[in-house]
Amino acid sequence: MYSFALPRRKVHKLKLHSLFFLEKLARYAIILEEYYLTTCNHKKGKLMKATSRNLFMALITLFALSLTGCASQSEKADGAASDSVVSEDDSSPLELNGSSDDNTAGGLNTIYFDFDSSRLTTSARTTLEQNAEFLKTNQNVDIQIEGHADERGGEQYNLALGERRARSVKDYLVALGVDANRISVISFGKTTPKAFGHSEDAWSQNRRANFVITAK
């Protein structure tokens, strides 16, 4: 069975049309009463008058019920749409193979490091505490932590630095209560920058550990 809900504006318009129709119906009922009283005998006229009034009241009741139903359906539909918008705006989308670098890893956010360091800054710890809460709430989500470095330094050195960064992030999450079996680590060194350029602004964005969703 199909169902539908009318928008509030259309419900209001429908109410106006219905009231106009009821006014017309009332006029016809009065004309009908006068006709029966003038063309039929008195007893039969009274009977037909009562019948027309009963019919008129029944029609009014039916219209009132139908309008109430339309209004309630409209309000219910508006409420559902509102809930849907709030739900889409609560967090970033959670996608399989989604990354915190492009905001497709739900509530997980990328961690950034100082130059040539795998030590977690105060800001990084705060972000990881939020990430840990997300992972504990979403027990079905598994992740891979990808460690990165900026373009300075040799390839092997940066691969090792990226791995140290990824492992320091994993260790902190495990200390916060996240199951270690849900977390894997990998290093890309300087091979997959987030920002391109040869400035501190680009380098600071590339010294990072991002999160990729491997199961959800």
Per-residue pLDDT tens for 108-166? 999 999 999 999 999 999 999 999 999 999 999 999 999 999 999 999 999 999 999 99
pLDDT tens per residue across span 160-198: 999 999 999 999 999 999 999 999 999 999 999 999 999
CATH 3.30.1330.60 fits 100-215, yes or no: yes
Q: Which one-letter DSSP state was computed for residue 106?
A: T
Alpha helices in the chain (DSSP H): 8-39, 42-89, 122-137, 155-175, 200-206
Two tokens, residue 68: 């109430």
The Cα–Cα gap between 135 and 140 comes to 8
Q: What is the CA radius of gyration of the chain?
A: 35
Closest CA to 122 of 113, 135, 133: 113
